[in-house]
Amino acid sequence: MSGRFGKVAVLMGGPSAERAISLKSGAAVLAALQRQDIDAHGIDVDAGVLERLRDGRFDRAFIALHGRWGEDGTIQGALEILGLPYTGSGVLGSALGMDKLRCKRLWTQAGLATPEFAVVADERALAPLADQFGLPLIVKPNAQGSSLGVSKVRGKDGLTAAWREAMSYGGEVFVERCMPGWELTAAILGAGVLPLIRLETPRAFYDYAAKYEADSTRYLLPCGLSAEREEECRQLSRRAFELVGCSGWGRVDFMLDENDIPNFLEVNTIPGMTDHSLVPMAARHAGIEFDELVIRILETSDGSA
């Protein structure tokens, strides 16, 4: 199998706010590849990464970079200039997937549901939105992952602090109506969609701690929907993924409204691959163990660059 893929660079770390999680994902991927006798090497990405890839004579890259540089199309564009095949979505799908606002606008135009939202450039606009959408509200930075900078605000007096926290991550900030229903996630793998996972947490919402640190988060597999309804949601999730131009593998998060209609929240083009991560969990439920999953993801590099 090692000769099939050649020399593989596992790209991890980088400068984003998700660096610590990326290093964990990359280490898990690297170990899985090496267990299968693949000539894989970990690279902590910095400004000299292209020179290291060129001088190292790598044949392809497994991207385990979360957030900036990894999920925004930056590394994908650089790898295309090098002519180096890579895993997951291309430049356009990566850039759009990282941009929550443009995802939501695309979905709305295509007739897919997403929670009501408004971009907030001035904190004086916050109180009227609380009246318009109702409380609680979700405040989000546009281009961050792992729920960094995201707040669930139950009273008007907390909106300004939440907005300023989101603004500290740079870029646009938006306010989103808080959906009261189930939160689910759909993992995309090649041409298929893995079983849905329903997420439950005693915390205010599925935040960074619930994702990576807490032992109290519940992951419901099967998710509790009928087989027919789950399949409908899986296919809608694939449509949401492809509308944004994504390919290969990834994850789509959504809420079910009072009519069990999926309201799409965001796309993750390079989901986590840690011991708390959702894609490995869904894959395992479908009979795909971690090492096989890593190979299946690496195979997506055959059609990327």
Amino acid (one-letter) located at 177: R
> Is 242 labeled as catalytic in the residue annotation?
no
Amino acid at 299: E
* Cβ pair 157, 137 in contact under 8 A: no
212 is catalytic: yes
Residue 143 contacts residue 186 (beta carbons within 8 Å): no
Catalytic: which of 207, 234, 253, 301?
253
Annotated active-site residue in 70, 272, 277, 304: 272
In b/e form, how buried is each residue of 134-149, taking b as 16+ CB within 10 angstroms? Answer: ebbbbbbbbbbbbbbb
Q: How many angstroms separate the CA atoms of 82 and 80, rounded?
A: 5
Task: Show Cβ contacts of residue 268 under 8 Å, excluding neighbours closer than 6 positions.
Answer: 71, 97, 145, 250, 251, 252, 253
Known catalytic residue: 35? Answer: no
- Give CA torsion, residues 203, 103, 16, 71, to 10 deg: 120
Catalytic position from the list 25, 146, 151, 277: 146
Whether residue 142 lies in the annotated active site: no
Q: In angstroms, rounded to a whole number, what is the distance separating the alpha carbons of residues 210 and 208?
A: 6
3-state secondary structure of 95: helix
Say which of 16, 18, 19, 67 is annotated catalytic: 18
Active site residue 25: no
Query: Of residues 266, 277, 301, 304, which has the active-site annotation?
Result: 266
| CB distance 67 to 57 below 8 Å | no
253 counts as catalytic: yes
Of 268, 277, 301, 304, the catalytic one is: 268
Catalytic residue status for 251: yes
The Cβ of residue 181 has, within 10 Å, a number of other Cβ atoms equal to 15
Please report how many Cα atoms fall inside a 13 Å half-sphere around the Cα of residue 100, on the Cβ side: 30
Marked catalytic residue, from 212, 230, 245, 247? 212
Alpha helices per DSSP H over 88-156: 91-98, 100-109, 126-133
Give catalytic residues, as residue numbers.
18, 146, 212, 251, 253, 266, 268, 272
